A and B are shown apart, each in its own frame.
Chain A
Amino acid sequence: MNVDASIKVTIDPATCTGCGLCILACPVDVIRFDEAAGKAYVAYGKDCQVCYLCEDDCPTHSIGLSHDISNSRRYSVYDQFGIDF
């Protein structure tokens, strides 16, 4: 399917309290801490796998995730065989 590896995760700076739980939660180190702003920010967004761990741990519901497939390195066999639905 080769879906465009666009950014799947966003953090709302208006509601982020800078607690850092999302930074701990991310298994692939997508989120870092902005010292100047005192808030978390998406540093390596294209590596996000949409695993929901950061969203689950955020106490202020500041994290938004796309439901689109998380992964740019998966290919659909339906595309390979030209099967539409």
Chain B
Amino acid sequence: MERHEADVLIIGGGFAGTWAALRAAEVGASVILVDKAYVSRSGASTMSGGITTCPLDSDDLDVWAEEFITRGGYMCDQRWSYQLLEGQRERVKDYERWGVPISRDDKGNIRRFASRGMINVRGMQYQPKAAMREMRRRITDLGVKIIDRVCITDLVTSDGCWPTRGAAAGAVGFHVHSGVFVVLRAKRTIVATGMIAMKGTHRVDNDTGDGPAMAFRAGARLIDMEFTFGGTFNVLMKRYDFPSYNVAIAHGARLINSKGERFMEKYDPVRLERSELSHVVAAFAKQIIDGNGPVCVDLRHVDDTYWPDIHRIHRGGGILLSEHVPDPTVTPLPIEPTWGMWASGRSGLQIDLNGRTNVPRLLAAGSAAKNDATGTHASAGSPTAFCNVSGWHAGDCAARESLEEQLPFVPEETLSALRDAAFAPLGRKPGAKTPDLLHDDLARLEASVVDGMVLSGERLQVMLAVTEDVSRMTCEIHAQDLHDLVKVHEARNVAECAGAVYRSALDRTESREQFFRQDYPYTDPSWFCWHGIRRGEQGFIFERIDFPTDGVKFPIKNTEAGLGPIGAIIRGEALQKEHA
């Protein structure tokens, strides 16, 4: 058993985790950062599309905040909207000062463009991988202890109970190469493990909702889990990965159906393909249902800077100019989206302005947390901005609060029980199911973009039953080696998160924004609230939580009853004014 102690433990080393580590170390705390892979090459941060929100000193942040708040359906904490923009302005300056490559115009100014889904908010294109490399170098220089390749299996609680009546006291896990069990005791624990997603439906294959799942088991509140559903256009000609839809449309790419129609003109004549992704995906599904497929990405109209940028910033961009596909400067290419669990801050652990969850001494940051700055709609670039800024604040708060405290005591029996549970699959007999087959069962829930967008109580019950089966199987399944053991814990966490998503979806008896139930197709104003789910001692607890009125600059406008945008698009009806 390997033991470590620190003022602040951070689980997950993407943008949120490394910004938390950097700030906590600056404040003077001892910091441990642990990751399932190698910090700077792990998770969605490294693989992100290369767009982040880019407010500069000359921008009027009122205009930007208003767009975040109104596009997000007012379902946010307006103080967070401002905190995000003010914080990100400083983070962009940091990247400039550190020499992170950022796309610039002829005069050397940052080249900015309207973020997808927005008219006023601007994003910039940069190299996220270079930024992550720089973050690792800087936190190492500040004395942060980085522990790579450790799979965290559970949080430790002060009372040895899950859910806890006490507080978070650290975490346990194992080295994925050596199998050595690791105990990490800390005064404050920050969960920054990234998005909730299935394993094997995106290229970011190690974002399996580990942090939200283990925090949920410890009693933390998840918020708006039914809004976890999301997707983007990422599959070309049924077999190739399409490099960043957001980047392509920022440069002028279009979507056309089999009749050559630019179908987004009907739904959003101003923003077109830059509309909310859920609207574009729904419009895609409508084309397929109506027999107007395939839908093609039309790159004949992109500006000249697209091709060098796509090569430089997206390694996968090479496919577009390879012999594998017809010349995209001449021929539109069939494309399709995914639709499933892909949180991007629309759901996750509820945090306050300092990153605190409802479990004492447990904080969260980044895509593991609900992004209260942007409500139900995350524009291109805002998830990474939220990672940077929420990480910074969580690190700041955790460090300051930890300095006056003692390390929590954790009984040895608690640690022994957690170690036995972590390694149990290695000692079981092989059965019909393997960890890979569990992930197959889970991923099959997202097999169809059309079925995934059009939900119903009946379908959600079937989906929930699959997650319950997988959860049960993770308690019976055999792992043949440590690599397999990681997958068992990932399946446990995916199933935990997916169960919370489907339970929340069943509890919400209406349709709203990207969430559409055909058995409840209309928006119900009584659901204008945050929707919480947490584990209580007697079972799941659902909560409706009012939006904060503190610091409200733009009067909160409750949604009117009506057909939600996805329902309207699928039924071929015009979008209501506030949706278009």
Contact = CB atoms under 8 A, between A and B. Distances in A.
The answer to whether A binds B is: yes
Contact of A69 (B42, B148, B206, B240): B240
B240 A55 contact: no
Interface stretch (B74-82, B165-173, B221-229, B443-451): B443-451
A49 B240 contact: no
A80 B200 contact: no
A80 B201 contact: no
B241 A53 contact: no
23 contacts: A24-B148, A29-B176, A29-B486, A49-B204, A52-B315, A53-B129, A55-B315, A67-B319, A68-B240, A70-B203, A70-B241, A71-B201, A73-B198, A73-B443, A74-B443, A77-B285, A78-B288, A78-B294, A78-B334, A80-B447, A83-B288, A83-B294, A85-B294
A51 B234 CA distance: 13
Contacts of B203: 49-51, 70-71
Interface in B237-275: 237-241
Interface string B318-335: 110010100000000010
A53 B483 contact: no
Contacts of B202: 71
Interface string B274-316: 0000000000010010000110000000000000000000011
B196 to A, nearest CB: 16
A78 B235 CA distance: 11
Interface string A24-53: 111111001000000000011001011111
B50 to A, nearest CB: 13
A56 B240 CA distance: 19
A68 B239 contact: yes
B239 A47 contact: no
Given A50-B241, A78-B336, A73 B440 contact: yes
B41 A53 contact: yes
B483 A77 contact: no
Interface in B456-494: 483, 486
Contacts of A47: 205
Contacts of A50: 203, 241, 316
A77 B239 contact: no
B341 to A, nearest CB: 13
B483 A75 contact: no
Given A27-B42, A27-B43, A85-B294, A73 B238 contact: no
Nearest to B239: A69
Interface string B188-205: 000000000011111111
B511 interface: no
B47 interface: yes
A27 B447 contact: no
B289 to A, nearest CB: 8
Contacts of B206: 27-28
Given A1-B238, A76-B238, A85-B334, A24 B38 contact: yes
Interface of A: 1, 3, 24-29, 32, 43-44, 47, 49-53, 55-57, 67-81, 83, 85
Given A27-B42, A69-B235, A75 B448 contact: yes
B71 interface: no
Given A1-B235, A28-B37, A71-B202, 13 more contacts: A29-B37, A44-B483, A53-B129, A56-B315, A70-B203, A70-B241, A72-B200, A73-B200, A73-B443, A74-B200, A76-B336, A78-B294, A81-B450
Interface residues on B, range: 35 or more
A71 B334 contact: no
B357 interface: no
B319 A78 contact: no
Output the residue of B46, B318, B447 with the most chain A CB within 10 A. Answer: B447
A53 B37 CA distance: 12
B449 A29 contact: no
B367 interface: no
Report the 8 A-B pairs with minimum CB-CB distance, sorted nearest first.
A73-B200, A52-B315, A73-B443, A75-B447, A24-B38, A83-B293, A27-B37, A69-B239
Nearest to B447: A75
Interface in B8-50: 37-38, 41-43, 46-47
Nearest to A46: B436
Contacts of A80: 447-448, 450
Contacts of A56: 129, 315
A81 B288 contact: yes
A40 B230 CA distance: 37
B149 interface: yes
B294 A1 contact: no
A43 to B, nearest CB: 8
Residue of A50, A77, A81 with most chain B CB atoms under a 10 A cut-off: A77
Contacts of B157: none
A80 B449 CA distance: 10
Contacts of A51: 47, 203-204
Nearest to B436: A46
Nearest to A68: B239
B534 interface: no
B548 to A, nearest CB: 37
B36 to A, nearest CB: 8
Given A1-B239, A50-B241, A27 B486 contact: no
B338 interface: yes
B439 interface: yes
Given A3-B239, A44-B483, A71-B200, A77 B449 contact: yes
A77 B448 contact: yes
The listed residue with most B CB atoms (<10 A of its CB), out of A1, A52, A74, A80, is: A74
Interface centre among A24, A44, A68 (most CB of B within 10 A): A24
A2 to B, nearest CB: 9
A69 B315 contact: no
B495 to A, nearest CB: 15
A61 to B, nearest CB: 13
